[in-house]
Structure 1
Amino acid sequence: MEVVLEMTLPRNAESAPLVRHTLDASLRGLGVASEIRADIALALGEACANVIQHAANGMEYEVRARMDGVRCVVEVIDGGTADGVGVAVAGDEAEVAGGWESALTAPLAEHGRGLQLIRAFTEELHIADRVHREGAIVHFEKSLAS
């Protein structure tokens, strides 16, 4: 069975718990273990928080998730450029892409660890500028096997 979620959300703090709970309910319905659901929720929360806090343009953002019983693929898409320089992360390589926090944040820094957390709790992380519109896409994947 494949489950696909697509949500367009207002760029405010109240939207992040809604999308986390919606995705978690879908994963729970597929029988995914609580530890894996927690990892995905943490990664999703960090990606949403980054868009809510830093995207300079656009009043909305999108979340797309696809679960097939084997893998969960999530994309968080912001509606505009962010207010700082960021990185696109693919494996261990980092390159500049508008709008996402630095991957080289100090371990004790109060802010800026979102990408490190997403990378730690998922198997893949890619961040890229949108092709024909302003904004960025954060894409992460997680195996659903325990």
Structure 2
Amino acid sequence: MEVVLEMTLPRNAESAPLVRHTLDASLRGLGVASEIRADIALALGEACANVIQHATNGTEYEVRARMDEARCVVEVIDGGGVNGAAVMGVEAEWGNEEAAPLAEHGRGLQLMRAFTEELRIADRVQREGAIVHFEKSLAG
């Protein structure tokens, strides 16, 4: 069985829990272990939070997820711009350096790398914005 989710969400704080719960319910329905679901929820939350806080263009963002018995593939797509810059997705914009141990911000990319596989952040082709892509094996 394959489950595909595509959501267009308002760029506000209320949207992140909705998309996390929706994806988690789908994964739970596929019988995915709670530890793996928690890893995916954490990474998804970080990607959504970055779009909500930093993408300056557009009032919406998209989340696409595809999952089967073996793998979950997630993409979070923003409408563009980080504080007026043309791209959110350049990893330097995400704080590619390690965050200070007591810093309040800057750990999102590190967390996403630690809890997922195949993390990529890329510019959108022919449009402003970025795509955050990550994958996670669902085998326990």
**Higher relative helix content:** 2
The equivalent residue for 1:91 is: none
Q: 1:136 and 2:118 equivalent?
A: no
Q: Between the two proteins, what is the percent identity of the paired residues?
A: 83
Paired residues for 1:104-115 under 5 Å: 104=97, 105-115=99-109
For 1:9 and 1:100, the matched residues in 2 are separated by 22
Aligned with 2:27: secondary structure? helix
Cα shift at 1:129 = 0.6
Q: 1:4 and 2:12 equivalent?
A: no
Q: Is the 8 A contact 2:88 2:130 kept in 1?
A: no
Q: State the one-letter code of the partner of 2:65.
A: A
TM-score calculated relative to the size of structure 1: 0.89
Q: Is the 8 A contact 1:130 1:137 kept in 2?
A: yes
Distance 1:56 1:107, change over 3 A: same
Q: Is the 8 A contact 2:55 2:88 kept in 1?
A: no
Q: Is the 8 A contact 1:11 1:61 kept in 2?
A: yes
Q: Is the 8 A contact 1:50 1:100 kept in 2?
A: no
Cα shift at 1:119 = 0.4
Cα shift at 1:84 = 7.3
Match of 2:94 among 98, 101, 104: 101
Cα shift at 1:83 = 1.7
Q: 1:56 and 2:56 equivalent?
A: yes
Distance 1:119 1:98, change over 3 A: closer
Paired residues for 1:45-124 under 5 Å: 45-83=45-83, 97=90, 100-104=93-97, 105-124=99-118
For 1:29 and 1:87, the matched residues in 2 are separated by 33
TM-score calculated relative to the size of structure 2: 0.93
Distance 1:65 1:23, change over 3 A: same
Distance 1:84 1:121, change over 3 A: farther
